[in-house]
Amino acid sequence: MIRVYGIGRDMTTDGKRVSLGAIFRVFFMIGATSFGGGLIAWIHRETVTNRKWLTQEQFLSGVALGQVLPGANVTNLAIYVGQVLRGGLGATVAICAVLLAPFFLCIGLAHIYDRVIGVPGFHAAMDGIAATAVGMILRLAYMGASHSCRKAAPAIIALAVFGAIGLLHWPLFPVILVAAPLSVALAWPRGAAHA
Amino acid sequence: MRDSPYFGLLYVLVPFSLVSVGGGPAIFAPLQHQSVDIWHWVSAREFVDLFAIARTAPGPGAMLTTLIGWKVAGWSGAIVATLALFAPASFMTYAVARVYDRYRGRAWHTALEEGLAPVAVGLILSGAVSVLHLSGDRPLAWAAALGAGAALAFLPKLHPFIILFTGAAIFVAAFFLGLK
């Protein structure tokens, strides 16, 4: 499972090479159908759960990296996944594919917005989709927690980050600047034992 | 050159791209100030509408900048604005991802991955709660989110579309019944 530089690069968890066309198709569909948000959960579903292109840890560390770097979380995650699978080309294909449909769809929606906004229940439908999309994200958080927070230390880190940012609304950057090194230090003995 | 609409878009959006830690929400307030008060690209009312459109359409909420570019200079404005906002940050992420990925398999890299995972879990959970908070903390929204999460957990074969559609149907029904 552990991939070493120079041997298993450009391969998925089961040792297959992912085609650029497959990367394009998956990210295009995610971009085209992600009404109501929840894109991170869609990316996880398609690349980890359904296709096993990445391990759970690879995906989650990509999420954390994407959030501390500038840029939309989704596009950063697309670049990360594309880069892991197929390097620079993979990253380019993934970000272009994930933005292609939204580019045309948001301009298209802007054209007809004045009309659809007046349709009774339109707002309610959109709110409903957004709320249930949060359910997908909750499910992703649960899967991530059950995989990587089985021990006390990571569970406490996850709860502390959630408390500070999700509940107390502390600024993202300082919280991560404290939590990430602490969490990595706590993971160190286990990490070293794998080597 | 300062008169060119593309210059303005690049001048405002490229720096925003590089400071947009956490994505769109980090720049929406200064973007509103720049595009409404400073550059007069859109009116305050239009800005709010475009924000709502970007949220409603699929894709990241930062597509708001695409719409502003489109208002400023049509299709070419939309393309310039999209590139200005997404390209600089994307290059930065790519560079970091590349360096990060190069050391896969090393002990410290494994520790980094294992250490970042719980941080990501906390961030993902925070994102979920903040969306519900932004939508006004409606009990119905919380119930729908928790219900959808449970449905996905117990019926993993169920396609998310079915769940999203059910959520929409319940909210529409609640709207017509006058429920909160």
> Which chain B residues touch A75 with a CB distance below 8 Å?
60, 62, 86, 89-90, 93
Q: What burial class does residue A91 get, using C-beta atoms within 10 Å of its C-beta: 0-12 exposed, 13-18 middle, 19+ buried?
A: buried
- pLDDT at residue A9, as a whole number: 52
For residue A194, the surrounding DSSP H or E stretch is helix A172-194
Q: Which of A137, A117, A123, A114 is nearest to B174 (CA)?
A: A123
Average pLDDT score, chain A: 88
> Which chain A residues touch B52 with a CB distance below 8 Å?
113
Task: Give the span between the Cα atoms of A158 and A141, in whole angstroms.
Answer: 10
Average pLDDT of the residues in B51-66: 90
- Cβ-Cβ pairs closer than 8 A, A with B, add up to 382
For the question of an ipTM over 0.85, the answer is yes
Q: Does the pLDDT of residue A141 top 70, yes or no?
A: yes
pLDDT 10s digits, B74-131: 999 999 999 999 999 999 999 999 999 888 888 888 888 899 999 999 999 998 888 8
Q: Does the pLDDT of residue A71 top 80, yes or no?
A: yes
Instruction: Please say whether the beta carbons of B104 and A10 come within 8 A.
Output: no
Contact A91 B94 (CB under 8 A): yes
Task: Give the span between the Cα atoms of B53 and B47, in whole angstroms.
Answer: 10
Instruction: Please say whether the beta carbons of A78 and B94 come within 8 A.
Output: no
Retrieve residue A117's tokens. 């906004």
- pLDDT at residue A5, as a whole number: 40
- pLDDT at residue B1, as a whole number: 61
Asked if A81 is an interface residue toward chain B (Cβ–Cβ < 8 A), one would say: no
Q: Dihedrals φ, ψ of A70, to 5°?
A: -65, 155
Task: Give the span between the Cα atoms of A16 and B41, in whole angstroms.
Answer: 49
Instruction: Determine the residue type at A31.
Output: G
Distance from the B10 Cα atom to the nearest Cα atom in chain A, whole angstroms: 16
Task: Give the span between the Cα atoms of B36 and A40, in whole angstroms.
Answer: 31
Instruction: Determine the residue type at B180.
Output: K
Task: Give the span between the Cα atoms of B137 and B9, in whole angstroms.
Answer: 35
Measure Cα distances from A2 to A57, A187, B104 in Å.
11, 16, 8
pLDDT 10s digits, B111-120: 888 999 999 9
Q: What burial class does residue A115 get, using C-beta atoms within 10 Å of its C-beta: 0-12 exposed, 13-18 middle, 19+ buried?
A: exposed
Task: Give the span between the Cα atoms of B88 and B109, in whole angstroms.
Answer: 26
Retrieve residue B151's tokens. 């449905």
Task: Give the span between the Cα atoms of B102 and B112, in whole angstroms.
Answer: 13
> Which chain B residues touch A80 with a CB distance below 8 Å?
93, 97
Task: Give the span between the Cα atoms of B35 and B11, in whole angstroms.
Answer: 12
Q: Does the pLDDT of residue A6 top 50, yes or no?
A: no
Q: Does the pLDDT of residue A129 top 70, yes or no?
A: yes
pLDDT 10s digits, B17-58: 998 887 777 788 889 999 999 999 999 989 988 988 998 889
Bigger pLDDT: A1 or A22?
A: A22
If you search the block for the tokens 């791209």, which residue do you land on? B17
If you search the block for the tokens 């009404």, which residue do you land on? A35
Retrieve residue A90's tokens. 């993979």
pLDDT tier, A163 (very low <50, low <70, confident <90, very high otherwise): very high
